[in-house]
Structure 1
Amino acid sequence: MGVVSDTNLTNHLHQENNDFGPDGVTELYEVAYHNDSSGIYIRAQDGQAFDLKSMQFSAPWSTSSPFVNRRAGSWEILGFSQADNPNLSSGNGTDYATRVAYQTVANTAADSFNGTLVLNSGFQNISAFWIHFIGEPDSFVTAGSAYKMRLDNVVIEQTAAAVPVPAAVWMFGSGLLGLLSFGRKKNSLAA
């Protein structure tokens, strides 16, 4: 998990306390991002493909601190066919050759999101995904009102790679059938 920071080394994520565990003492955290960064970028550590199923997506409309989120627009979630996607922040934030999945989440006073977000079927067999505010592929692209979202409980399913059947199995099977037929022929000659 990280940020897209092709040229801007100040891009970063935040860790925010959102609740306490069942013991009432253990702090529970979620990752947060706002308009001083380029979004949240997640890929598998080994670069393997996965299915992105759902996530806790929290971006309630708010004009008061500490959760200021008052810029009208949408959040974009992009899925990619490869794990490493350089130069994302220098693009337009939406159109990339390796993008294979796309979904938006409204962010307005009348329609903001705070709950479990289920991703569409395009997010199957992706190698990375990126969440950012539409039109803002890097921090502070457009001056204006602040925006902020928090992310937790990302549910993925590892995509199993097809395992090829080695040629040796076919050769073994053919040899075994040959031995069985030779044994039957030998038994019929003896009778």
Structure 2
Amino acid sequence: MPHTTTTPGWKRLVAVALGTAWLYASQAIAAPLDLMQQFPDIQVSELDISYDAGTGSFSANSPGDVMLAYSDGIDPTEYFDWTYSLSASLDSGTGALISGSLEIRDGSSNLRLAGSLTAFGYTDAGNTDVFEFLFDGIDGALAGDFGALGGIIINTSSSSFIGDFTTDFTATSLESDTFAAVVPIPAAVWLFGSGLLGLAAAARRRH
């Protein structure tokens, strides 16, 4: 007589829950990324920021040549003729990142650092909003110092952003950091994972 096996109910439950957790964790939701500045770090003295709700285009560009300070955590080196260009395509309803890129060049137009944006987050704080990005695919002369993943924190002043991506806004940044990133796991994901383990244990005890 053929022998058939049936996957226990608790295993099916865990499989479904893990699939749900994966979908949850992979959603591109515009919320704070809670990045922490690391070294090496490139500090930019000034950026002009704009967002067009009609196209979902977000940009943060240096107004001509600006001062950048490259620091390994010990002695910063200042450069006065570098250019910084960040462009992102956002969902005009949710603010979720669709695509984007970062490019930093020196005064001779040599590529110093570049990458593809992979995540976007923000903190709506009146006229001093904070915008955060992650990027990978790192290229350029400084790529070896940054590793596989980079982070960007843009602190703004005079921002007209009101937490709504259906409305145009502009801002100025007098302090932004581009650095080798260490990404914290959101507390919600930890809690969700703990809940999954609890459900699995309870279901297994019943069998």
Which TM-score tier does this pair reach, normalised by the shorter chain? Answer: under 0.3
Structure (1/2) with the larger helix percentage: 2
Q: TM-score w.r.t. structure 2 length?
A: 0.23
Q: Which has the larger radius of gyration?
A: 1
Higher relative contact order (CA 8 A, sep 6+): 1
Q: TM-score w.r.t. structure 1 length?
A: 0.24
Structure (1/2) with the larger strand percentage: 2
